[in-house]
């Protein structure tokens, strides 16, 4: 059954908020639903999704509900605050005896234990224009008792049709070369990574624009002793659409990803990866990272790389990115992907949840 969805997305910083919301909206559209994506900052969509998506309308942040009222499902992503007049319209509709809309708070992704405990719990509203309504928590996650991960229905077919060697040839990367994609904030161990790759004439570093490119340029400028870099090929990439970003991850031998959405994409890529987790002021991200590494069943060298890359540990040497290490990380990544592929994807679980509660 085709439903009408209102998806609310406020951009805090970076691209994860809108990146996740866009993937969800586009996949809803692909499965025949109608989506209004309300956002206070759609600017990144010009490069992330220039093609748009069937069934998806991008709308500026509203002050009130549109004349035809809220849709069948309202999603506030990452606890963003829906405007009070829109909430009043939800309450009005619910007060008219309608079960709809179903109101869902889509949370951030984590592998921590609270996710299984809190997933699908109700949160009754006690005050404000929504008093008396119930909002439901929906937690993405890595285990069957969570809301799962976004995975498009056509992902497997797209991956099967992807010509990895042709992509590498187009980008001047020989089959046996080491291609490393870099999407990160300012990793404390970036200098160490560059120093390790610098003498390798077979290494290619594909640097995404923005903070990653700035961090690399800063590192090069502030470490004049690092003189061998001319051997390493560094490409500074323009921003690209999400499907093109995904293909880069499928084509590389090591993906250094960050935030939330690109981590999921690295998992689907099935290549070795390292996660630069979004840093939180109270260091809450340390426990979050360790929980993920436990779920991942990361081997010791991958745990150590993560600890240094994320600044949980200092004054130690990054594991060498040699063939044995990458083979071990590859086995780990493939096993993780296989576990995830046995589970339902986020949208399938969300649609089941909506059907159950409506």
Kindly tell me which of 208 and 301 has the beta carbon lying closer to ligand TRH. Answer: 208
* 273 lines the binding site for ligand TRH (CB under 6 A): no
Q: Report, in Å, the least distance between residue 157 CB and ligand TRH.
A: 20
What is the torsion angle, in degrees rounded to the nearest 10, for the CA atoms of residue 262, residue 263, residue 268 and residue 274? 120
* 261 lines the binding site for ligand TRH (CB under 6 A): yes
Active site residue 17: yes
Question: Of residues 17, 27, 112, 253, which has the active-site annotation?
Answer: 17
Other CB atoms within 10 Å distance of the CB of residue 241 = 15
The pattern of x and - marking residues 101 through 130 that bind ligand TRH according to CB under 6 A reads -------x----------------------
Among 27, 72, 260, 345, binds ligand TRH (CB under 6 A): 260
Kindly tell me which of 185 and 329 has the beta carbon lying closer to ligand TRH. Answer: 185
| Cβ atoms of 195 and 226 closer than 8 Å | yes
Q: Report, in Å, the least distance between residue 165 CB and ligand TRH.
A: 22
From 9-17, 111-119, 155-163, 214-222, give the range in contact with ligand TRH by CB under 6 A: 9-17
- Which residue number has the CB closest to ligand TRH? 16
Among 120, 155, 240, 293, binds ligand TRH (CB under 6 A): 240
In whole angstroms, what separates CA 206 from the centre of its chain?
Answer: 19
Give the CA distances from residue 221 to residues 215, 216, 227, in Å, rounded to whole numbers and listed in that order: 10, 9, 11
β-pair type (56-60, 134-138): unpaired
Other CB atoms within 10 Å distance of the CB of residue 168 = 18
* 259 lines the binding site for ligand TRH (CB under 6 A): yes
* Binders of ligand TRH in range 274-303 (CB under 6 A): 278
Among 255, 262, 301, 310, binds ligand TRH (CB under 6 A): 262
In whole angstroms, what separates CA 207 from the centre of its chain?
Answer: 18
* 19 lines the binding site for ligand TRH (CB under 6 A): yes
Rounded Cα–Cα distance for residues 133 and 118 (Å): 18
Which tokens is 192 given? 């160490």
Kindly tell me which of 79 and 132 has the beta carbon lying closer to ligand TRH. Answer: 79
Rounded Cα–Cα distance for residues 257 and 261 (Å): 9
Question: Of residues 27, 253, 260, 345, which has the active-site annotation?
Answer: 260
**Can you tell me whether residue 209 is helix, strand or coil?**
coil
Among 10, 181, 242, 310, binds ligand TRH (CB under 6 A): 242
Kindly tell me which of 17 and 72 has the beta carbon lying closer to ligand TRH. Answer: 17
First to last CA, the chain: 13
3-state secondary structure 105-157: EECCCCCCCHHHHHCCCEEECCCCCCCCCEEEEECCCCCCCCCCCCCCCCHHH
Question: For tokens 């630069």, what's the residue?
Answer: 276
Residues that bind ligand TRH (CB under 6 A): 12-17, 19, 48, 108, 183, 208, 239-242, 245, 258-262, 278
Q: Which sequence positions are flagged as catalytic?
A: 17, 260
């Amino acid at each position: 059954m085709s439903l009408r969805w209102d998806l609310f997305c406020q951009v805090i910083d970076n691209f994860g908020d809108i990146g996740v919301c866009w993937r969800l909206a586009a996949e809803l559209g692909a499965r025949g639903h109608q989506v209004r994506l309300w956002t206070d900052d759609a600017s990144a969509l010009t490069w992330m999704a220039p093609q748009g998506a069937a069934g998806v309308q991008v709308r500026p942040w509203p002050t009130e509900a549109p004349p035809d009222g809220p849709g069948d499902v309202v999603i506030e992503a990452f606890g963003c605050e829906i405007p009070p007049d829109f909430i009043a319209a939800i309450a009005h509709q619910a007060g008219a005896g309608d079960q709809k809309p179903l109101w869902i708070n889509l949370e951030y992704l984590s592998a921590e234990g609270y996710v299984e405990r809190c997933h699908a719990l109700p949160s009754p509203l006690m005050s404000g224009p929504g008093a008396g309504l119930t909002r439901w928590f929906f937690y993405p996650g890595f285990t069957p008792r969570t809301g799962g991960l976004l995975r498009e229905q056509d992902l497997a077919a797209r991956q099967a049709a992807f010509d990895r060697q042709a992509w590498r040839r187009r980008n001047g990367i020989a089959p046996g070369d080491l291609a490393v994609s870099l999407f990160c904030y300012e990793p404390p161990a970036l200098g160490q990574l560059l120093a390790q790759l610098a003498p390798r004439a077979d290494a290619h570093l594909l640097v995404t624009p923005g903070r990653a490119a700035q961090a690399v340029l800063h590192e090069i400028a502030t470490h004049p002793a690092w003189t061998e870099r001319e051997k390493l090929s560094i490409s500074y990439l323009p921003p690209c659409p999400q499907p093109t970003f995904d293909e880069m991850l499928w084509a590389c031998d090591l993906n250094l990803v960050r935030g939330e959405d690109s981590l999921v994409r690295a998992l689907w890529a099935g290549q070795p990866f390292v996660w630069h987790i979004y840093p939180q002021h109270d260091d809450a991200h340390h426990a979050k990272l360790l929980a993920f590494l436990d779920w991942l069943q990361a081997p010791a060298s991958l745990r150590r790389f993560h600890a240094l890359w994320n600044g949980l540990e200092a004054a130690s040497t990054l594991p060498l990115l040699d063939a044995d290490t990458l083979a071990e990380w590859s086995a780990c990544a493939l096993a993780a992907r296989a576990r995830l592929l046995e589970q339902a994807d986020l949208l399938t679980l969300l649609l089941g949840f909506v059907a159950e509660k409506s």
